[in-house]
Amino acid sequence: MRISRRRFLELALGLTVLAACTRRAPEGDGQILPATPACGDGDDATPPQTAGPFFKPASPERSSLVESDTVGTLLIVAGSVLATDCRPVAGALLDFWQTDDAGVYDNQGFGFRGHQFADDQGRWELRTIVPGLYPGRTRHIHVNVQAPDGPVLTTQLYFPAEPTNEVDAIFDPALLMEAEGTVDGQRAGFTFVLDVS
């Protein structure tokens, strides 16, 4: 759904607060859970994926990829970076890149590219739009995640209920975001688990 710039900003603000403060129990019983996700014993590290040909180094530091002339459906992705022992990875670097609404990467400038650092609890939040589709791939967001002084995890995030997931050769269900459609936009979540032992 296309939305006005003003409504977009109102939503972004509201959804940011929502995403930062609460997390619905997966059973849908209405219980509000803390933002910190559950982490059990022996959680698997987030699997790597190819960076593809469109990564560019030196992206700007910003948690919002939305600009004054951005077109598309608002998407707030919030999550955490944890170690396999469930400790938060404070200050982890997250460098995101994706296409615009039409499925096109900005290879001249830094449109829809940006890096940020997780907070002391390993939490992060990205404000962007739902990326478009391009031939041969399902809908996805690229990301590099790196603990301070750790190795770089290059991977991709996917959208649930996306029909093209099933025909994408590299799609991995372990990289599906928890996503929830709203009337005017979408919010999603993902917990990165890094093997930093």
Build a one-symbol-per-residue string for 7-46: x at contacts with Fe ion by CB under 5 A, - elsewhere: ----------------------------------------
* Residue carrying the six token digits 């987030």: 46
- Does 52 contact Fe ion by CB under 5 A? yes
- How far, in Å, CA of 115 to CA of 126, rounded? 9
- Does 181 contact Fe ion by CB under 5 A? no
Supply the DSSP symbol for 177.
P
The amino acid occupying position 57 is P
Residue 14 or 52: the one with the smaller Cβ distance to Fe ion is 52
Shortest reach from residue 50's CB to Fe ion, in Å: 9
- Does 132 contact Fe ion by CB under 5 A? no
The amino acid occupying position 83 is A
Shortest reach from residue 6's CB to Fe ion, in Å: 31
| Span of 1-9, 19-27, 48-56, 176-184 interacting with Fe ion by CB under 5 A | 48-56
The amino acid occupying position 159 is F
Contacts (CB under 5 A) with Fe ion, residues 55-114 = none
A 10 A CB-CB count for 29 gives 7
| Span of 12-20, 38-46, 50-58, 80-88 interacting with Fe ion by CB under 5 A | 50-58
**In angstroms, how far apart are the furthest CA atoms of the chain?**
47
- Phi and psi angles of residue 144, each rounded to the nearest 5 degrees, phi first: -110, 130
Residue 168 or 184: the one with the smaller Cβ distance to Fe ion is 168
Distances (CA, A) of 116 to 20, 25, 91, 127: 16, 27, 9, 11
Supply the DSSP symbol for 104.
-
Residue 127 or 140: the one with the smaller Cβ distance to Fe ion is 140
| Span of 52-60, 84-92, 117-125, 162-170 interacting with Fe ion by CB under 5 A | 52-60
- How far, in Å, CA of 27 to CA of 21, rounded? 18
Residue 78 or 143: the one with the smaller Cβ distance to Fe ion is 143
- How many residues bind to Fe ion according to rule CB under 5 A? 1
Contacts with Fe ion, residue ranges (CB under 5 A) = 52
